[in-house]
Amino acid sequence: MKTLEDILCRQPETLREALTLLSDEATRGVLLSGGTDLIVQWQAGAVPMPEQIIDLSAVPELKNISEQDGRILIGAGVTHAAIRNHALTRGALPALVASCASIGARQIQSRGTLGGNVANASPAGDASPALLVADACVVTASLAGERCIPMKDFLLDYRKIDRHPDELILRFELTPCPKGGIELFSKIGTRGAQAISKVMGACRIVMHKGIVEQIALALGSVAATAIRLPETEALLTGKTLTEKLVDEAEACVMQEVHPIADIRSTAEYRRWVSGRIVRGFLASRMTGFGPPSC
Amino acid sequence: MTQQSESSFRIIGHSVTRSDAEDKVRGKAQYLDDLPMPGVWYADVVRAPVPCGKLRGLHFDESFDWTQVVTVTPEDIPGENIVDMTGLDMPFLAFDQIQYQGEPLALIAAPSKALAREAVRHVRAEVEELPAIQSIQEMVERHKTGWADSLRLLEKKEIRRGDAEKVLADSGKVLEGEYWTGFQEQLYIEPQSMAAEPMEGGGVYIRGSIQCPYYVAPELMKALNLPLEKIRVEQTVTGGAFGGKEEFPTLPGGYCALLAMKAGRPVKMVYDRHEDILFTTKRHPSWTRYRTALAEDGSIAAMEVDMILDGGAYTTISPVVLYRGILHAALGYRCENVTVRGYVYASNSFPCGAFRGFGAPQAYWGLESHVEDLAEQAGLAPDDFRLKNCLQEGDVTPTGQHLLTSVGTPAVLKEALRRSDFHEKLARCDHGRPDAKSWYGIGVSFFAHGAGFTGDGEAKFGSRAAIELGRLSDGGPGLTIYASSTEMGQGAKTVLAQMAAEGAGLPFERVFYPLPDTRVVPDSGPTVASRTTMVVGNILYHAGHKMKRLLEETASKHCFGGASVRLEDGRFFAEGVAARLFEEVAEVLLAQGEPLRTEHQFVLPPHIRWDQEHFVGDAYPAYSWACNVAEVEVDPLTLRIHLRKITAVYDVGRIINPMLSIGQLQGGLVQTIGYALMESMQVRKGLYDANRLQTYIIPTALDVPEMDLHFLEYPCGELAPGAKGLGEITMNGLAPAIGNAIRRATGCSLRSIPMRPEDLYATLYQGAKDQ
Amino acid sequence: MNTITRTWVVNEVEQTVTFEGLRRLLDVLREDLRLTGVKEGCGEGECGACTVLINGEPVTSCIVPAVQVPEGAEILTVEGLEKLELGRRIQKAYIEKGSVQCGFCTPGMLMSSYALLSRNSRPTEQEIREAHAGNLCRCTGYEKIVDAVRAVADELERGTRSTV
């Protein structure tokens, strides 16, 4: 019977090496980043143990955080802990930082990576809503070159991403929160910490004199993938934020989500609390209170 | 009689540092899986694939090389294929009927865990599936609709006082309420771990993470076909138990023993967490229905309770859980007309078992939730109603027991209400009012826990323990305790040594409590029922006194020329001579060669009378009393429940070690936070659905509110040094206190636990009748 | 299947280990290096009993493949704490404050305490609790563990002031 020790592990030390391994079917093992989800899934038998893996933990090109042409670049191998601590992300991407702080606990944050979290493509993937509201692009790479795919197109379906077999996720490129804008994050979990979410939401909003100039809303755990809420965003953009508009937005959100019942929560509660999370985001902009507690 | 006690003890009542802490913080404490076991093989279990059915055959796939492993099937069992527990209805290995999914069908031992697991996958069970009962809802439905005969009844029992039925029938206003509780997994952080090896001259030596060495040994005699002396059982350092290692370890102990005897080599079994959650005992789910009537003056005229527990597939200890459940279901308030009817039915899931509280948390969820409605009906605030009606010294319990001594009520109730400013805070409760940014609520519960075995159980049992003078691991002389009580984190090793040292007149450091081994310790009874400090402590306190006198006599003879000697705090005193240290005198006594050993057997105060058949009389030798107050804030935006503060006051008699006692209280309350708000599992597709730590959610450090905890001491005068029971009462009352707080916060009465936002949502917005 | 050899500094001692494939760090520590102080409570990275520090960062070793621990990495387990002054202080505080009951979560819990106090010697209550949120305890209710960490933080603060 297969055990972890039976798995053939290749550990490239450069990006080129990794892409070369991927380019050849014979050496195209399952990609392993932090392993915080995969190792658990393999041991549980939820996902069959692979014959071989390509361990990306030693590839330095995946570990950078930098700024370029007004965009923030985060390597796929950057850990949640690193995102929490880095000045660039802390300054410009508060929802992403808050998401990373909500993943597991310290021990998981030290190991789990942004790329791993997105590639795992769980509907409850904690980083995805924040990435969606930051208009993130996923940059994939193969020996043939790089592709830049908008996050919302990258998440295809339940645990399915737009990654070709010979590609890996190289980095994420995000737009920083604009001047005058604010980012909010809310996670409804099963307890105070170390909890998979029932519903979570991220919001990026720019208000001016009570009018919603720009708004991006994204929710996780309410559909097969994390989703933006285009109808609710359209309803709000350019309008003066009033109680009545907030009521309408709440109702619109409830229409846009497709939650299921599972061991963590009911479909009805998820649908309702999706609207409530957005209500909370908007209400905080009306009264000027801080973001709702995560 | 009801004053707080004064104490002139040297060691008892002091926060002596626990004796096993150092090894544990250094990583030196060896739990079973840490012990080197050269040549050991690993056990695994072939399990039934359906929850109910007939086993037609077991097929061993020929493509697997079976010579690599050792297998045990029913035919290999040397004696009877039966686990010697109540009812004698549970086989070690199912051979005909399958009563729960996962029921063991065969055992396999292999040189590695992976090979054992692979072998298991090469065994196919041929089964004919039959309809299964898998939920307490189903059970209750059948019971209510007169279809109970279709269920297997494992036990039923009744308590009657006065004529509740008549008073209710005559009353104009009967208040009725139904309450539900679900499964709970003990979730000790060290998983179930057992090992066995064959002994020279026949017999088997079993070690493991257990609460009761003297449960494991006798319960294996029938199957192993061995006399008690040939089954040696020793406890290893145990990483938590909470009842989950009370009766359960007989099973993996038996599997390892059967395999070890067949293989002729040591075999061990350490469960992985997933397996542990799936295939070990859980707290019994419960349903209680209260029907009550008030008298004109706001007292309780009659109380009728029906209680049903889901026992899982076999009897095991369910009858005892039921007894404790019904004994606490109406234990709180004066009432002359009480009927409690209790039933345990079988279902097709893993047999339910012991878990801290043992029926009482289920009972109090019903009673203390129902009392809120009663208070409302009486037009009284919940604190006032309880103060008016609570049992006090001189009152009589539903079984007719007079509460004469060590009665910490209404003291605990008054103190908790005072400390929490309960009455003032009532006015602040939001009752779900619209436009509130947050809904605040405060709730109270009042409850007890009978300490020790029910009724004359302790008398019948006759627990024994011994103390012997010898040499300790540091080379110096000291006392070794021989008792079967087990340290599982609760501090027994330390407090029992404190009591023995107190009695013996020696410093705590000169008394050693080893891991119990049935080869050398007498049977002091199992480490259960909140009896250890009260009963075994009492035994060791007396044995300690006996040892003191023996040491004084022997020292007098050998060291003081026959003069009258007094041993006090580690020194021997005699008239006109310099005092001599115990260490010095003990060396002389040891050199004499006479064994210095004292024993004591527990004597139950003779006035305790109990009729087991009719459930009348003195149900417990003593009761601990408590009051919990919970304060919550519910977020109207998301219905998330935030526990803000717990105020808890307990009378558990004499406190032996304040630091350890507070630690037990903190731990038990947090475990109950999980029970009340987070821990949820159902049987789905034959198995518990929340079967990993990702899905079975217990509290973390971030889930703990402010806690104001306090003890009031009403020592049990008849059982020196006067401790009552602490371990379990910590779990009895917090859930209804939280429920009552949520009710005042939201206006919503939840009838089942755990209580979650989804349940509030369903009740508030979907018009769901709370189930 | 492939065989990997690494040299790490484990509890201040250089150790060379050899393992296959994706063997768990937990198993290398417990079985090969006989560091049985590191415990397995769940095997899925949820309970924290297996927590060790790799280059000062707390990780749940049951889901860390040993191959991902780089050459020369510094690993600290409970057995190494007594070699370090801060480690000894924390152990002493746990004993004095009554933070240990069954002891099974204790090694992992100590590692999280050490990781916190070595990077932040003045944590708030919230920070203390958050730093230990990945270590489940069923016995203590966490209170006395938080008390112990706070006591060490207070000690460190007094120590700092006294050297000024």
Does ipTM surpass 0.85 in this model? yes
Of A11, A81, A105, the CB nearest to C67: A11
* Contact (CB, 8 A) for B188 and B281: no
Is the fold of B21-29+457-601 the same as that of B358-454+612-765? yes
CB contact under 8 A, B693 and C42: yes
Q: Which regions of chain A are under pLDDT 50?
A: 290-294
Of A5, A39, A58, the CB nearest to C20: A5
Residues of A in contact with C24 (CB under 8 A): 4, 39
**What are the residue ranges spanned by the domains of chain B?**
21-29+457-601, 32-131+187-278, 358-454+612-765
The CATH number of C81-163 is 1.10.150.120
Residue C164, pLDDT score: 34
CA A144/CA A114 separation, integer angstroms = 23
- Averaged pLDDT, groups of 10, chain B, 771 residues long: 58 96 98 98 98 98 97 98 96 98 98 97 98 96 94 97 98 96 98 97 96 97 97 98 98 98 98 98 98 97 98 98 98 98 98 98 98 97 98 98 96 98 98 96 98 88 97 97 98 98 97 98 96 97 98 95 96 95 96 93 92 96 97 97 98 98 98 98 96 96 98 95 97 98 97 97 80 41
Pinpoint the residues of chain A covered by CATH 3.30.465.10: 61-174
The angle at the Cα of A281, spanning A276 to A285, to the nearest 5 degrees, equals 135
* Contact (CB, 8 A) for C99 and C140: yes
How confident is the prediction for chain C on average, in pLDDT?
Answer: 96
Helical residues (DSSP H) of C43-142, grouped into ranges: 78-81, 85-97, 106-119, 125-131
Fold of A4-55: 3.30.43
Residue A193, pLDDT score: 74
Residues C129-144, mean pLDDT to the nearest whole number: 98
**What are the residue ranges spanned by the domains of chain C?**
3-79, 81-163
Q: Which residue has the tokens 């026959």?
A: B562
Residues C91-109, mean pLDDT to the nearest whole number: 98
Query: pTM higher than 0.90, yes or no?
Result: yes
Q: How far is CA A187 from CA B479, B640, B699, in A?
A: 56, 11, 17
Q: Inform me whether the C-beta atom of residue B747 falls under 8 Å from chain C C-beta atoms.
A: no
CB contact under 8 A, B700 and A194: yes
CA C143/CA B671 separation, integer angstroms = 13
Residue B2, pLDDT score: 34
Residues of A in contact with B765 (CB under 8 A): 272
Give the A:B interface size as CB pairs under 8 Å: 61
Q: How far is A3 from chain B (nearest CA, A)?
A: 7
Structure tokens at A169: 């996720």
Q: How confident is the model at residue C128 (pLDDT cuts 50, 70, 90)?
A: very high
Q: How far is A180 from chain C (nearest CA, A)?
A: 30
Q: Of B655, B604, B656, B645, give the one whose Cα is nearest residue B463.
A: B604
Q: Of B347, B203, B373, B210, give the one whose Cα is nearest residue B286.
A: B347
Residue B769, pLDDT score: 55
Of A188, A193, A263, the CB nearest to B640: A188
- Top residue of A5, A40, A107, A108 to mutate, by most chain C CBs within 10 Å, is A107
Q: Inform me whether the C-beta atom of residue A41 falls under 8 Å from chain B C-beta atoms.
A: no
Fold of C3-79: Ubiquitin-like (UB roll) (3.10.20)
One of 3.30.465.10, 3.40.720.10, 3.30.420.40, 1.10.1740.10 is the CATH number of A61-174, namely 3.30.465.10
CB contact under 8 A, C98 and B18: yes
For chain B, positions 422-451, list CB contacts with chain C under 8 A. none
Residues in A lying within 8 Å of C, measured between beta carbons: 3-9, 11, 32, 35-36, 39-40, 43-44, 53, 55, 57-58, 81, 104-108, 110-111, 192-194
Does the domain at B358-454+612-765 match CATH 2.60.34.30? Answer given as: no
* Contact (CB, 8 A) for C96 and A120: no
Distance from CA of residue B581 to its chain's centroid? 41
Residue C160, pLDDT score: 67
Q: Inform me whether the C-beta atom of residue B699 falls under 8 Å from chain A C-beta atoms.
A: yes
CB contact under 8 A, A106 and C115: yes
Q: How far apart are the first and last CA of chain C?
A: 57
CB contact under 8 A, B186 and C142: no
Written in H, E and C, the secondary structure of B68-113 is HCEEECHHHCCCCCCCCCHHHCCCCCCCCEECCCCCEEEEEEECCH
B279 residue type, one letter:
F
Q: Of B110, B45, B121, B112, give the one whose Cα is nearest residue B262.
A: B110
Which chains touch A (3+ CB pairs under 8 A)? Answer: B, C
CB contact under 8 A, A35 and C131: no
CB contact under 8 A, B702 and A193: yes
Q: At B627, phi and psi to the nearest 5?
A: -140, 135
Residue B141, pLDDT score: 97
Q: Which residue has the tokens 């030390």?
A: A13
For chain B, positions 250-289, list CB contacts with chain A under 8 A. 274
Q: Inform me whether the C-beta atom of residue B29 falls under 8 Å from chain C C-beta atoms.
A: yes
Structure tokens at C40: 């397995």
Q: At A142, phi and psi to the nearest 5?
A: -140, 180
CB contact under 8 A, C104 and B189: yes
The angle at the Cα of A143, spanning A140 to A149, to the nearest 5 degrees, equals 20
How confident is the prediction for chain A on average, in pLDDT?
Answer: 95
CB contact under 8 A, A191 and B121: no
CB contact under 8 A, A263 and B690: yes
CB contact under 8 A, B637 and A292: yes
For chain B, positions 66-125, list CB contacts with chain A under 8 A. 114-115, 117-118, 121
Q: Which residue has the tokens 């993937």?
A: A125
Q: In DSSP terms, which residues pair with B235 in a beta bridge? A: B208
Which chains touch B (3+ CB pairs under 8 A)? Answer: A, C
CB contact under 8 A, B639 and A190: no
CATH superfamily of A181-287: CO dehydrogenase flavoprotein, C-terminal domain (3.30.390.50)
Q: Inform me whether the C-beta atom of residue C6 falls under 8 Å from chain A C-beta atoms.
A: no
Residue B1, pLDDT score: 31
CB contact under 8 A, C141 and B668: yes
Q: Which residue has the tokens 């949502």?
A: B761
DSSP string, C77-105: -HHHHTTSHHHHHHHHHHHHHT--SS-SS
The CATH number of B32-131+187-278 is 3.30.365.10
Q: How far is CA B133 from CA B152, B180, B308, B322, C143, in A?
A: 10, 17, 15, 20, 41
Q: How far is B663 from chain C (nearest CA, A)?
A: 6
Of C43, C44, C134, the CB nearest to A105: C134
Does the domain at B21-29+457-601 match CATH 3.30.365.10? Answer given as: yes
Q: Inform me whether the C-beta atom of residue C115 falls under 8 Å from chain A C-beta atoms.
A: yes
Q: How many residues does chain B have?
A: 771
Non-local (6+) Cβ contacts of B397 within 8 A are B331, B391, B403, B619
Give the A:C interface size as CB pairs under 8 Å: 95
Residue B766, pLDDT score: 85
DSSP 8-state code for residue A270: H
CB contact under 8 A, C59 and A4: no
* Contact (CB, 8 A) for B567 and B548: yes
CB contact under 8 A, B637 and A264: no
Chain A: residue whose CA lies nearest to B679: A190
Written in H, E and C, the secondary structure of B154-193 is EEEEEEEECCHHHHHHHCCCCEEEEEEECCCCCCCCCCCE
